[in-house]
Structures are given as C-alpha cells and as structure tokens.
Structure 1
Amino acid sequence: MASLNFPAYGSLYFSNAPIESNLKIPLDHEYCIGPNCNSVLWNQNPGEPELYGRPSTNCGPWENLTSYCQGLIETGFSRLPKKPITHSLPHQGSVEEHGAAAPTLLHPDFHMRNIFVSADDPTIITGLIDWQSTSVEPAFIYANETPDFAAPPEEPEEEMPESGLSEQKSPEMRERERKDALICYQTYDVYMKGLIPKVLDARRLDSSLFRVFHYCHTSWRDSAAAFHQELIELSARWTELGLQGACPFSATEQELKEHAQNYEDFETVQRLKSWLRSALYTDSDGWVSNAQWEAAKDAHRAVYDQWIETARELESDSEGLTVEKADKLWPFDAR
C-alpha cells in the first residue's frame, strides 16, 4: 500500500463519491483524492465535544506540501475557543498565543487494539480495523510513528504507587519483557526501513525538521508548550540543519524562562498520563473495557487521592506544587 504513488494529499474516494467536483483530484476512472477524513482535522475526537460541528475550513485535498501545511495551520486556528478559557494551565497556552514530502498511504492507527490474529496461530493476521482516518500524508508524518507493540522498552524512572491493577512482577520477568520489547522495536524498525522506501527517506532526515508538523494543528488540544518547544529547538539548530536565511521564530530570555516552566508542566502531564495508561489498562482518552471498569475506577480514585496528598505535603513545605495545580495537571476528568 505504501508503495503506491499519489498526486496529492487527502483521502481516497470513489470517483462518483457525493462530494463537490472541485474537491476531487482524479487518480483513475475508479478513484480520486478528496478531503482528508482524519478525525484530527474535523475536531471530533473524544475529549473535545465542545468543538463538534466546527471542523477545519481546509480539510484538503492538497496538491503540494505548501497547501498541506496551510491546511494544518487553518485547522489549528479552527480549534481555538471563541471565548477565553480561564481554567487551563499556562502550558496549554492562551487563545492569543495560538492565534498570534512524498504523498504516502499508511494505516494511521496501527496499534494492537486494531489488529486481529488467528486464535490458532497468533503470527497470522486475520484483519485490521479502524481505517476511517486513513489518508495520503507526507511520508515524514509516518516516519517516527511507532505502534504500541513495537514501542522501545522504557527504563523505570521512579517508583510509582501501586494502582491495584498492576501485577507484581519479578526482576526476571521485567527483564524478559524488556528484551521482548527491544526485539519487537528493532524488528519493526528494520521492516519499515526495508519494505517502505518512502518512510526510509523520511527517517533519514533530522526529526527537528518535521516535528513541528505534529503539533501545529493540534496545539490547543496537545498544549502550546509542545509546539513552542519544537520551534525553539528548530530555531536553535537553524544553521546547523542547513536552512537558509534566519529563522522567522525567536524568543526572548523572559519568554524562554516562562516556557521552561510551562514545558515542565507539560512533561509532568505526559509522564503521569503514560503511567496511568499502563497501570489502569486504558488509553489516552481514558477508555476502559467493561470488564475492568469497576476495578479501574477504584484504582484511579486511589491514585488520584495519593497524588493530591503528595501535592498537599509539597504545598505545606513551600516546594512549588499546590493542590490546585496538581488537580489541574491530572490528565483525566474523573475525580
């Protein structure tokens, strides 16, 4: 699939699809490229219900990289609330802050939950689901995407409280899991580089060149701090990367100081959410299976209470983290 060549970015449609003719770029007599169906562009992902019915004004199709980038930027603007938000943390960024490649087709969400295998032989894939957001994107969009079954092994950074769902594992079992994860990661990397030349070409590029594309259209959802960090790193390496002229983005010392604190908050949220996903067997949206719901709900409450109690102790010691801030940093709605 990834070896196919396309004249534009967008999603695949039948040629007789009921969309405006000016939104069709022909492929052959059967198919065409039309507006991108990725839910990120339509502002209808779980967790942003207030944005339903207000999609981006520019969902493609796009005939070149310049127009594709413009579509991402317009999508970013479309996510901004019409009224100022007072309850968010600084690292998300204010409305004012947000306001002031070879086309490649790949599965956009190639994770274990979307892969079905044979009950008799788990090496045989019997089906893939969740194709609705599949679209033709620049190859670099997929270059650093790694599915959960091929994620690199992570070394434990610090002791986290027991969730009540996590199994007690011996050091030997943890080491075996780490080695298995490393084998999966390396195997996936070899296959991507060997079987998909377009992705190989993109992976050869310095990731600083295209990481901004991952946040420019989702900065309200994912935090302005993440986008600022990519701009700061790109600016610092502008000459090193061989880019012409001067970087159009620059930050003052005061802005860098404020950003450092905001980015620290952003990373805290990401680490916390990553641990919660693993400990509660959930995903980034907080989805839990029916069978695990009651146990996950109780475990979530226990971990949240411990998080707040830790913040209360730090607040009394004047160490920066307050109960109010800890509550805002908590990544899920449930309390």
Structure 2
Amino acid sequence: MHDGREVIAKLPNPNAGRLHFTTASEVATMDFLRNTLHLPVPKFHAWSSRASDNAKAQIVKQIVDIEKTIASTKFTKLGALYYKRDLPSSDHDTVLYVDRAGNKVHTEEFGIGPTNHRSFFDFGRGELDIDRGPWSTTTAYLEAVAHREISCVDMGLRYPLMPEGPFYGPGQYQPSASKKLSALRNYLKVAPYVLPDNRAIHVPVLWHGDLHLQNIFVDPAEPTRIVGIIDWQSVSICPLFTQVTMPGFLDYNGPIPKELGRVSLPPNFGSTTPDEQREAKELHQAQTLHNLYLALSRQINPTAFQAIKGQDSLRHQGGRERVVNDGRVSNEDYEVSKRQLAEGIESFLSREARSREERKAWLQALPFVD
C-alpha cells in the first residue's frame, strides 16, 4: 500500500469444508486469537463468506471484457512472448501484434520466441530435438505438433496415463507405434484442409486457459471488481480456435443449456424436497452464469464466441491439439468427480466384463483405477 502496509487476499480452498462456515469460523478464530489472546495473527480488513449472484455476474462481465482485449491483440507469429533480451536473436523491424484498431505495433521490449506450452515439454518431450517455433502460420504450427508426436513414437516416449485406456481392454483396439505413425502421417496430408473455414478464429493470441477462482483476485472493499489475474505460466501464443475455452470458475456438473435464453427452474420445483430444491437452485445459478458468459461473449467478444460455438465441428476438432489429461479436476468438483468415476467404472465393468478374468483384465487396462 502507499503507507507501507501489506495486504494479502486469501481465497478458501473448497476442499477445506463448507465454504461459508469455513470462512466465517476462520475469521472469528483469527479475531479471537489476535484481539483476545493477543497473539501475532494477521488483522482482517474485510471478508465475505458468500458471493451473491450479482457479484458473480459482475465478475463474468469483467472476464469477458478482459478476454475481448486479449482476443483483439493479434500477434504476427505463434510461439511464446519474451523480452527481446532473453531471445538469442530478434528482428527489431518485425511487427509484434495488431491492436483492436488495426494498428501495427512494433516494440523494442517484447518479441516472440519458441513456445513454452507444456505439451512440448512434458513426459520427456523436453529432451527431444523438435521444432518449437516460432511459426508464421497455423498450418506450420499444427504440422510441428504432428512431427512432435512422430518424434515421441520414434523415441519410444509414452504418456504415463493413456486416456484411451477404456478401449484397450479384452477384445478391444490395441494401439501400436505403427498405427499411431500412420495416423499422424495421414493427418499431415490433410491438416491444411480440415481447419475451420472462419479465418478470424485462426489469429494468434494469448489466452488464459485456467481461470478458476483461485487465479482471480478481487478488491476486498469492492468484491465485484477484479484487481488481478495470476498463473500466466506456460501461456503461449496459439490460434484462437485451439485456445478458447469457458472459464474454469463456470464449470459445473450438470446438463448444458441448449439455448442462450433465460434458464428456468424445473416445473415440479414446488413439489420437491428442500434438498432437491437446493440442488435445483444451484444448478439454475450455474446454468444462468454459463449462459450469461456466452451471451456477453456473443455481444462483446464475437470472434471468441464463434470459436467456442465451433468446437463441436469436425473441422474445429481437426485443428485442436489433443493434450493428455493428467487427471486434474477443480477443487470444487473433486469429491463429486471421484464418486462419479467410481460409479462409472463399476457400471462399465458390469456391462463389459463377462467373467472374473475379464474384469481383472479391464481393471489392468483402465488408467483411472486408484
């Protein structure tokens, strides 16, 4: 602060317990320890254990505005952003990006260098002699991704967990190096022709792909105002359609609304139990915020909205990189995801395993069994 004081913003980890009572009790405990027992405990200046629907809606609006600024900053190459002094060489005459007004921007400070995306370094890839950019075109970038995977096969690298595991069981498809190489080489032949038709979503942009609540700081005195977004590590410059994603803090377990209109509570809401009504209200709130984000994106950030809505198309999927899921889920969803995974595995085994031996073979093939 201007007077030399330091202020720390703290967000509760959802795994710590019930959000309201966890925060409310922590504040009361710290107040007691500091002011009653006179122990060296930090002073609370402001706190809140509940976020109102209006507060969350205001956060959504600001996130869309931030993403609009990011999507409107169109870089001239794909890779990662660096200070020029940290690059082996850089062209001082090259345009760095085009701003939202269409102006070509040069800078003496920043340059675009090799990608720092984890998919080019995780699982032993960091030791490979491969093309990490920077690249001048979307096609060159996607071809580098394919060649990277070819190098992985040639060097015998494997993912620690194979997401395709459920298909590797008894009598199912069995992967091999030759099959993967064949698929990758065929992909290289068609890659330029299966990209999205909408060239506007090809633009190279930065994008924060992990916007959960722990990465968003708000003003304690004005909880609806974002004052900081953290965790930009490994953020790279890639085509918009390969990067754009719904913010993580909007994730929820439940059906996605088919339309962007007003979300309604179920018709039988009044006749359900209190617990069912609470669950229905939580789902209603989550779906409302989901639709609000998309509606605001369509209005304020239409290019990103087009990229999001095109994610189900075959052309869009053809250009998206398949990054291995390392098993992480959001803190909010951990217990639910753990239970759903156990239920899903048991349901799958009861349907597919015809004998005790097959059940054992499936359990060995599944990568998600703890």
TM range (shorter): 0.5 to 0.7
Deviation at 1:204, TM superposition (A): 6.0
Equivalent residue number for residue 75 of structure 1 = 148
Amino acid at match of 2:237: V
2:195 maps to 1:126: no
**1: distance between equivalents of 2:281 and 2:219?**
24
CA spacing shift, 1:324–1:309, aligned 2, 3 Å: farther
> Which among 283, 303, 309 is matched to residue 198 of structure 1?
303
Equivalent residue number for residue 264 of structure 1 = none
> Which string of whole-angstrom CA distances, capped at 9 and with x for unpartnered residues, describes residues 32-86 of structure 1?
11111111222x2xxx3xx16424611111111221111221222243373497x
Equivalent residue number for residue 320 of structure 2 = 214
> Which string of whole-angstrom CA distances, capped at 9 and with x for unpartnered residues, describes residues 246-299 of structure 1?
xxxxxxxxxxxxxxxxxxxxxxxx9xx9799834378xxxxxxxxxxxxx9xx9
Task: Output the TM-score relative to the length of structure 2.
Answer: 0.54
Range moving further from structure 2, 57-66 or 120-129: 120-129
Amino acid at match of 2:88: I
2:180 maps to 1:98: yes
Q: Which has the higher contact order (CA 8 A, sep 6+)?
A: 2
**2: distance between equivalents of 1:99 and 1:278?**
36
Contact 1:153 1:181 in 2 (8 A): no
CA spacing shift, 1:178–1:305, aligned 2, 3 Å: closer
Which 5+ residue runs of structure 1 have no aligned equivalent? Answer: 157-168, 224-269, 283-295
CA spacing shift, 1:275–1:118, aligned 2, 3 Å: closer
**2: distance between equivalents of 1:276 and 1:30?**
38
Residue-pair matches, total: 244
Amino acid at match of 1:179: H
Contact 1:118 1:124 in 2 (8 A): yes
**2: distance between equivalents of 1:81 and 1:192?**
43
CA spacing shift, 1:320–1:112, aligned 2, 3 Å: farther
Contact 2:240 2:307 in 1 (8 A): yes
2:118 maps to 1:39: yes
**2: distance between equivalents of 1:74 and 1:81?**
10
Equivalent residue number for residue 18 of structure 1 = 87
2:285 maps to 1:180: yes
**1: distance between equivalents of 2:222 and 2:155?**
53
**2: distance between equivalents of 1:275 and 1:33?**
31
**2: distance between equivalents of 1:203 and 1:278?**
22
Amino acid at match of 1:104: V
**2: distance between equivalents of 1:60 and 1:185?**
35
2:233 maps to 1:151: no
**2: distance between equivalents of 1:201 and 1:309?**
37
Which 5+ residue runs of structure 2 have no aligned equivalent? Answer: 1-69, 97-106, 183-201, 257-273
Deviation at 1:185, TM superposition (A): 0.6
* 1:322 partner SS: helix
> Which string of whole-angstrom CA distances, capped at 9 and with x for unpartnered residues, describes residues 113-163 of structure 1?
3222344543222321210222221121134x112322365149xxxxxxx
Contact 2:210 2:248 in 1 (8 A): no
Deviation at 1:181, TM superposition (A): 0.7
Deviation at 1:172, TM superposition (A): 1.0
Amino acid at match of 2:178: E
**2: distance between equivalents of 1:214 and 1:175?**
34
**2: distance between equivalents of 1:152 and 1:281?**
10
Equivalent residue number for residue 138 of structure 1 = 239
**2: distance between equivalents of 1:155 and 1:118?**
32
Contact 2:73 2:205 in 1 (8 A): yes
CA spacing shift, 1:38–1:325, aligned 2, 3 Å: same
**1: distance between equivalents of 2:356 and 2:148?**
39
> Which among 132, 136, 146 is matched to residue 59 of structure 1?
132
Deviation at 1:178, TM superposition (A): 0.6
Contact 2:120 2:126 in 1 (8 A): no
**1: distance between equivalents of 2:88 and 2:205?**
23
**2: distance between equivalents of 1:274 and 1:319?**
31
RMSD of Structure 2 on Structure 1 (CA):
4.3
Deviation at 1:180, TM superposition (A): 0.8
Equivalent residue number for residue 365 of structure 2 = 328
Equivalent residue number for residue 230 of structure 1 = none
Deviation at 1:112, TM superposition (A): 2.5
Amino acid at match of 2:320: H
